[in-house]
Amino acid sequence: MREALFWGLVASSSLLIGGLVALRVSIDRLVLGLVMAFGAGVLLSAVAFELVEEAFAESGLLRDVALGLFAGCAVYSLGDMLIDRMGGESRKRIDGGEAEGSPLAIVLGIVLDGIPESAVIGLTVLEGGAVSVAMLVAVFLSNLPEAVAASSGLADAGWRRSRILQLWIGVMVVSGLAALAGYSLFDGASPSVVAFVLAFAGGAILTMLADTMMPEAFAHGGKLAGVMTTVGFATAFAVSAFE
């Protein structure tokens, strides 16, 4: 159980690292867009090979996978819609658009984005007895561009540095607790339940990628965003293949 909490904190620590980098170094928006595209590719690979494929292998039932995918999509979409209405729709913009949003909604949105990934970290510890290196690397790497982009935007919007770093520390704690929950809540669960949860996380992450990360990556990275997404996908697949 402690191992799940530890690895959840490790995976989400890249949020704090990304925030520190963004606040100390001025990064061009083109670079931010390309880094975000790389992170999107990493997560796409994790969804395909560490979540959906693993979910099907767990129960062998396409029904469990399909139900999980669409449930994750629906729940994330609903939560995202509510947060958007509260003023958090610009939480991942890297052009200072966060100034238009509600700080509370922005924080809630970032937490919503990270919970499915973190819960899966804990679940992989439960299922395999050790954390999935591929999933850990995928979450860690994908968090970096998100944190850099969000921190740059929040700083442009007038947020104090201390406030931004407190945000990432808070999200780290929540992510660690989500990993712990992923371990403790599904201990002893049936293969169908585990498959559903894995696919649920996959559906939520896919929806998040299409709704926030990939549009922002293309808006600032242009045509090269496609190249970097492919590089990110290939990198994460290589880690998964040699795990």
Per-residue confidence (pLDDT) for residue 186, from 0 to 100: 82
Name the nearest CA neighbour of 132 among 47, 73, 13, 72: 47
Q: What pLDDT does 150 receive?
A: 76
Torsions phi, psi for 224 (to 5 deg): -70, -15
Q: Residue 123's pLDDT is what?
A: 83
Q: Distance between CA atoms of 141 and 122, rounded to whole angstroms?
A: 17
Residues lower than pLDDT 50 in the chain: 99
Q: What is the token pair recorded at 151?
A: 């921190």
**Cβ(27)–Cβ(154) below 8 Å:** no
pLDDT at 35 (0 to 100): 83
- Closest by CA position to 141, among listed 41, 53, 227, 48: 41
Rounded-to-10 torsion of CA 55, 60, 63, 64: -40
The pLDDT value given to residue 91: 57
The CA–CA distances, whole Å, from 187 to 14, 125, 190, 205 equal 27, 10, 9, 23
Which residue reads 């995202």 in tokens? 80
Q: How far apart are CA 192 and CA 13, in angstroms?
A: 31
Rounded CA gap, 111 and 135, in Å? 18
